[in-house]
Amino acid sequence: MDATACALTSRGAKQGSGAMAGDVVRAHVITGGYPVGSHAGHDHDYVRVQALSALQQDERVHASVSNDFTDIEKWLPGCDFLFTYVAGPYAEGDENEALRGWLEDGGRWLGIHGTAGGRTKRVGEARRKQMVRTPYHETLGAFFLNHEPVRRFEVQVTRGHPLTQGLPEAFLTQDEPYQVEVLDPAHTQVLLTNRLGPDASPPGFGFVYDRDTSLHADAETRTLGYVRQVGRGEVAYFALGHTHTPSTNVQPFVHESVDPEGRTPLRFRGSWEVDAFRQLFQNGIQWGIGAEDSAPA
């Protein structure tokens, strides 16, 4: 079926309404690392299976899959929902323009974890890496700066939105505590935060940055999840979700809250084994395909 036919038979991002029983819902899943075919320190296969399995629970959903944003222009027409879990890939040039236009026309995008990353550059005499902010981040509404080593921490939840339905006011997890700058705070509804305070990364660890623009005014709180309107569409982002296997692990060490001796678990599922995060993920899928829009009041 070509894109035009899909646009006529799917819920249709341009319709701006939830899926009704019997309608086809188009979803596109992007999971992968950079360079092409690289795991980039994450178990993308695991997350790809989680996303496709969750989508398969609704028989109206027809899903396509990619490893990056290349040629996204051909997948978005007639698509209702975009799910991304990437480590390095990001939308450039015409790809980002297509993504932005699709959102403004009514699409829903759920980005998880490394979706807020992208291109890096070498800086300083030590040639350490620094993230590069691009127009893609403006479309997403967030820009990744750095993260401390994997550690145990508490996540605070803002309830009252379908994305956080059924979640407690706070939950504990083990994950990479992301430092993410929110780029459009006036139009962003913050749903998840932590209160870890200033970056406590060991010297030489992670990415460098000029200033920690992820900290809130209290110099303690950071945003870990949000939803924001983009035209007639919406984008939601959750920073949690690191996972790796023995063959994809690149973590040099972890915080003592995970292992007293700092030894990195060779197989790590982190938040994916936490009930609250699993609920958040399922909520995100249901929100993305518009299931909550057509549910009885």
What gap in Å lies between CA 265 and CA 249, rounded to an integer? 9
Closest CA to 206 of 152, 263, 128: 128
Question: For residue 56, how many other CB atoms are within 10 A of its CB?
Answer: 10
Through-space distance between the first and last CA atoms of the chain, rounded to whole angstroms? 34
Angle between helices 44-56 and 275-288 (to 10 degrees): 60
Closest CA to 153 of 179, 175, 181, 180: 175
Per-domain residue ranges of the chain: 3-294
- The whole-number pLDDT of residue 174 equals 98
Identify the CATH assignment for 3-294 out of 3.20.20.450, 2.140.10.10, 3.20.20.210, 3.40.50.880: 3.40.50.880
- The whole-number pLDDT of residue 160 equals 96
Contacts of 229 (CB under 8 A, 6+ apart): 187
Backbone angles phi, psi at 7, to 5 degrees: -65, -30
- The whole-number pLDDT of residue 292 equals 63
- The whole-number pLDDT of residue 23 equals 86
- The whole-number pLDDT of residue 294 equals 46
One digit per residue, the tens of pLDDT, for the chain of length 297 reads 333 333 333 444 444 444 444 589 999 999 999 999 999 999 999 999 999 999 999 999 999 999 999 999 999 999 999 999 999 999 999 999 999 999 999 999 999 999 999 999 999 877 899 999 999 999 999 999 999 999 999 999 999 999 999 999 999 999 999 999 999 999 999 999 999 999 999 999 999 999 999 999 999 999 999 999 999 999 999 999 999 999 999 999 999 999 999 999 999 999 999 999 999 999 999 999 997 664 433
Contacts of 168 (CB under 8 A, 6+ apart): 157, 276
Contacts of 237 (CB under 8 A, 6+ apart): 110, 111, 112, 115, 116, 140, 141, 142, 180, 225, 226
- The whole-number pLDDT of residue 293 equals 60
- The whole-number pLDDT of residue 144 equals 98
Would the pTM count as exceeding 0.85? yes
Question: For residue 248, how many other CB atoms are within 10 A of its CB?
Answer: 21
- The whole-number pLDDT of residue 124 equals 84
On whether the CB atoms of residues 231 and 216 are closer than 8 A, the answer is: no
Beta strand pairing call for 108-112 and 233-238? parallel
On whether the CB atoms of residues 67 and 84 are closer than 8 A, the answer is: no
- The whole-number pLDDT of residue 85 equals 98
Upper half-sphere CA count for residue 43 (Cβ side, 13 Å):
20
Element (H, E) at 288: helix 275-288
